[in-house]
């Protein structure tokens, strides 16, 4: 359903309008101050006229169905007024008051009843429990706060926020960017973030979309909107709250416990080309960076400063945040020092103060960086702000003129940065905005924002078609409803997909165990095998380093004794005699299923270290080209795999092939598989491959969220 009646209304009815200070009064004044060219219909039986507008006793008395009705009444009176609004044929409504689903069962019931009326009557509902909708691009306001000064309010940022206070905070500062739309979505009882995003993607006035969200209610639609926004070249900058672990859920595998909501959501944003930020400072700076006339086409940062201390601070920040600030090449350093004099450090950040002749040194520094092949972006750092008690604004504006001249002569994006966020000289900001150069604030936030936009603009990894030519997990589910698929059956499935597994034999007696051990080659491992015991080591049901027949026989007896003490009388499938793999680096890989966004693959250091370090990489399935290799490189396992203290490098190529094969079989059977855990995988020296030592599969038919 098009959102035009809400986002581009031609008529606004204000139910509960008043001449006293109130939301109803603010809406009438906002319409005048923002330049609304449509019709305003105040509704209140106590007034024949209100602030220059004819006032109507009820919605039934309006001369036409309004585009949108603003409910400026208590939640206790919403329902009694909503049916007449629907009968009148209103196209949209905004409910500001709280008291609905956020208040518990009774509130949720009231909200559901109103939504039902809206769906039946074809009414678009904004809220409830929201600030409303402010549209500087179309000069309309159904927004709680009064628009006092519309100057500078209009811009290219489309804001969608479940939090009203976030809207208040962002709209209060339009020094560096304005807004095409400000949408306070509140409870999102009917229209969610994804639907608002769709409208902003199609909106010509919107260049970048900012999203503050608590919950994504339509995951598939949200992901599709992210893809469409990226295809249209409109960055979606997302700040999601509630990133900490919410509740513990019953898990069977390690992987299911690792891949929490926040990690999965981060991967969703990365995979679908959105920009994630962690706080309001980062959100604001990314939006400011997006105002640049030129966007960065690389993330190698070069900074000009007039302070050695600032240069050192920025290097610390860059190192901590993983920002790329490459040293100034020798040729460019020589050219810089020819004019500026001796340069400290490695030349980036470039302290260009020299002998203090900034009028000569700064322009020369800009020319040098413009010709530096390792500089994708040029940032000038110099602190200044309104109301400063010392120094002169003229000096700051002189610096700014040098930046403008340098930017005009260059094809690289230029930025001006205060080292502290929030501080700026308004006259300088205005001058920069006129020439399409952003002012950014905070070394961490500002440089990080450039990096985030640059990485957003990088080409995406190629899509790859999942290849799974082996057997389906369905073959192991036909006979009975299985709680888990034990490691013996799980590894047979893996082997069918080309994944190397450890040598092992399933036996039913101590004699068979000894024979199997001798055939495999001592030493061996004995494990009790049961679908009902997913974690055998918890009950002491894994016995290792059995070096002779006597040790194998004794281990058999020990397993039987321990099995008798396991609660619940588990059904035994037999005993597994397994080759003991010496050496190699232990890693894990696992697949789990997010309720909203589908399957993910996790990878990291294996064995018991997984529980302690919780260091892992995560990707959505299906994997893209290069994902497996990138996952390996992102974790602490990478250092071990590349060899430390003279140890041989491990077979990383074989490990990557294993990860792709695991991901492909899981994706092919995504309708049947809830979780897969391979822990440990032993990665052997280069050229010798890798081998899965233990495995577990949880069928989707058993797993419940």
What mean pLDDT do residues 674-701 have? 95
Residues of the chain above pLDDT 90, percent? 84
Q: Check residue 254 and give its pLDDT.
A: 40
What mean pLDDT do residues 444-462 have? 94
Among 173, 377, 368, 370, residue whose Cα is nearest residue 285: 173
* pLDDT tens by residue, 150-186: 989 999 999 999 999 999 999 999 999 999 999 999 9
Indicate if the pLDDT at residue 613 is higher than 70: no
Indicate if the pLDDT at residue 479 is higher than 70: no
Q: Check residue 440 and give its pLDDT.
A: 97
Q: What are phi and psi of 18, to 5 degrees?
A: -155, 155
Q: Which residue has the higher pLDDT, 479 or 21?
A: 21
What whole-number distance in Å separates Cα of residue 553 and Cα of residue 514?
Answer: 7
- Name beta bridge partners: 698: 675
What is the residue-averaged pLDDT of the chain?
Answer: 92
Q: Which residue has the higher pLDDT, 637 or 66?
A: 66
Q: Check residue 1 and give its pLDDT.
A: 66
What mean pLDDT do residues 427-437 have? 97
Strands 301-305 and 208-213: unpaired
What whole-number distance in Å separates Cα of residue 251 and Cα of residue 549?
Answer: 37
* pLDDT tens by residue, 527-572: 999 999 988 988 999 999 999 999 999 999 999 999 999 998 898 9
Indicate if the pLDDT at residue 413 is higher than 50: yes
Q: Check residue 359 and give its pLDDT.
A: 95
Q: Check residue 623 and give its pLDDT.
A: 95
Indicate if the pLDDT at residue 17 is higher than 50: yes
Indicate if the pLDDT at residue 646 is higher than 80: no
* pLDDT tens by residue, 218-273: 999 999 999 999 999 999 999 998 766 543 333 344 444 444 478 889 999 999 99
Indicate if the pLDDT at residue 663 is higher than 90: yes
| Full set of structural domains in the chain with CATH | 4-241 (3.40.50.720), 289-456 (3.40.50.261), 468-502+581-705 (3.30.470.20), 511-578 (3.30.1490.20)
What mean pLDDT do residues 583-605 have? 93
- Name beta bridge partners: 415: 379
Residues of the chain above pLDDT 70, percent? 95
Cα 87 to Cα 61, 165, 171, 559: the distances in Å are 12, 33, 35, 75
Q: Check residue 672 and give its pLDDT.
A: 94
Q: Check residue 634 and give its pLDDT.
A: 93
* pLDDT tens by residue, 275-303: 999 999 999 999 999 999 999 999 999 99
What mean pLDDT do residues 606-631 have? 84
- Whether the link from the prior residue into 174 is cis, omega within 30° of 0, is no
Q: Check residue 461 and give its pLDDT.
A: 84
Query: Which residues, 6+ apart, have CB-to-CB distance to 591 below 8 Å?
Result: 255, 599, 600, 601, 602, 621, 662, 663, 666, 673, 675, 676
Q: How confident is the model at residue 608 (pLDDT cuts 50, 70, 90)?
A: low
Q: Check residue 692 and give its pLDDT.
A: 98
* pLDDT tens by residue, 178-217: 999 999 999 999 999 999 999 999 999 999 999 999 889 8
- Whether the link from the prior residue into 349 is cis, omega within 30° of 0, is yes
* pLDDT tens by residue, 44-68: 999 999 999 999 999 999 999 999 9
pTM for the model stands at: 0.90
Among 248, 263, 242, residue whose Cα is nearest residue 614: 263
Q: Check residue 702 and give its pLDDT.
A: 58
Angle made by CA atoms 487, 489, 490, in degrees to the nearest 5 = 60
What mean pLDDT do residues 19-36 have? 96
Q: How confident is the model at residue 481 (pLDDT cuts 50, 70, 90)?
A: confident
């Amino acid at each position: 359903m098009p959102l035009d009646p809400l986002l581009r209304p031609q008529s606004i009815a204000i139910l509960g309008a008043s001449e006293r200070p109130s939301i109803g009064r603010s809406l009438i004044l906002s319409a005048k101050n923002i330049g609304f060219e449509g019709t305003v219909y105040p509704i209140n039986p106590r007034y024949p006229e209100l602030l220059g507008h004819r006032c109507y006793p009820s919605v039934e008395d309006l001369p036409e169905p309004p585009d949108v009705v603003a409910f400026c009444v208590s939640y206790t009176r919403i329902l009694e007024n909503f049916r007449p609004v629907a009968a009148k044929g209103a196209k949209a409504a905004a409910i500001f008051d709280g008291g609905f689903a956020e208040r518990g069962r009774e509130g949720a019931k009231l909200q559901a009843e109103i939504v039902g009326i809206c769906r039946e009557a074809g009414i678009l509902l904004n809220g409830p429990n929201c600030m409303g909708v402010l549209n500087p691009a179309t000069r309309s306001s159904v927004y709680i706060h009064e628009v006092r000064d519309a100057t500078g309010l209009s811009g290219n940022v489309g804001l969608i926020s479940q939090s009203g206070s976030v809207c208040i905070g962002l709209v209060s500062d339009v020094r560096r960017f304005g807004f095409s739309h400000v949408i306070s979505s509140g409870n999102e009882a009917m229209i969610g973030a994804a639907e608002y995003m769709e409208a902003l993607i199609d909106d010509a006035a919107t260049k970048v979309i900012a999203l503050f969200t608590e919950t994504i209610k339509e995951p598939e639609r949200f992901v599709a909107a992210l893809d469409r926004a990226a295809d249209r070249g409109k960055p979606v900058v997302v700040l999601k709250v509630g990133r900490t672990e919410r509740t513990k859920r019953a898990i069977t595998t390690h992987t299911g416990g690792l891949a929490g909501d926040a990690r999965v959501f981060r991967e969703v944003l990365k995979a679908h080309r959105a920009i994630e930020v962690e706080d309001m400072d980062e959100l604001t700076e990314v939006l400011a960076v997006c105002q640049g006339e030129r966007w960065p086409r690389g993330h190698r940062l070069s900074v000009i400063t007039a302070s050695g201390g600032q240069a050192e601070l920025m290097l610390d920040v860059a190192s901590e945040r993983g920002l790329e600030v490459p040293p100034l090449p020798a040729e460019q350093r020589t050219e810089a020092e020819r004019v500026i004099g001796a340069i400290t450090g490695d030349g980036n950040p470039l302290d260009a103060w020299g002998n203090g002749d900034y009028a000569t040194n700064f322009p020369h520094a800009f020319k040098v960086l413009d010709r530096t092949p390792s500089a994708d972006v040029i940032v000038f750092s110099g602190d200044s702000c309104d109301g400063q008690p010392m120094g002169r604004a003229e000096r700051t504006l002189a610096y700014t003129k040098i930046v403008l001249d340098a930017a005009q002569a260059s094809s690289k994006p230029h930025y001006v940065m205060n080292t502290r966020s929030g501080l700026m000289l308004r006259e300088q900001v205005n001058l920069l905005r006129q020439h399409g150069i952003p002012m950014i604030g905070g070394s961490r936030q500002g440089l990080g924002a450039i990096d985030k936009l640059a990485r957003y603009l990088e080409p995406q990894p190629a899509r790859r078609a999942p290849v799974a030519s082996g057997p389906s997990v369905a073959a192991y589910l036909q006979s009975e409803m299985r709680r888990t698929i034990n490691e013996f059956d799980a590894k047979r499935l893996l082997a069918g997909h080309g994944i190397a597994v450890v040598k092992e034999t399933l036996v039913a007696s101590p004699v068979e165990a000894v024979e199997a051990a001798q055939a495999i080659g001592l030493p061996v491992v004995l494990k009790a095998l049961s679908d009902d015991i997913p974690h055998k080591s918890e009950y002491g049901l894994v016995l290792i380093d059995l070096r002779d027949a006597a040790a194998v026989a004794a281990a058999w007896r020990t397993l039987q004794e321990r099995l008798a003490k396991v609660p619940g009388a588990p059904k035994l499938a037999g005993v597994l005699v397994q080759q003991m793999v010496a050496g190699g680096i232990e890693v894990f890989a696992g697949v789990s299923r997010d309720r909203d966004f589908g399957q993910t693959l996790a990878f990291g250091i294996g064995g018991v270290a997984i529980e302690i370090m919780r260091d892992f990489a995560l990707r959505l399935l299906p994997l893209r080209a290069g994902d497996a290799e990138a996952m390996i490189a992102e974790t602490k396992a990478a250092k071990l795999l590349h060899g430390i203290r003279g140890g041989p490098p491990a077979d990383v190529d074989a490990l990557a092939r294993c990860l792709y094969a695991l991901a492909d079989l899981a994706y092919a059977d995504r309708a049947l598989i809830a979780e897969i855990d391979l822990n440990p995988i032993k990665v052997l020296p280069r050229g010798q491959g890798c081998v899965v030592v233990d495995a577990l599969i949880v069928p989707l038919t058993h797993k419940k969220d």
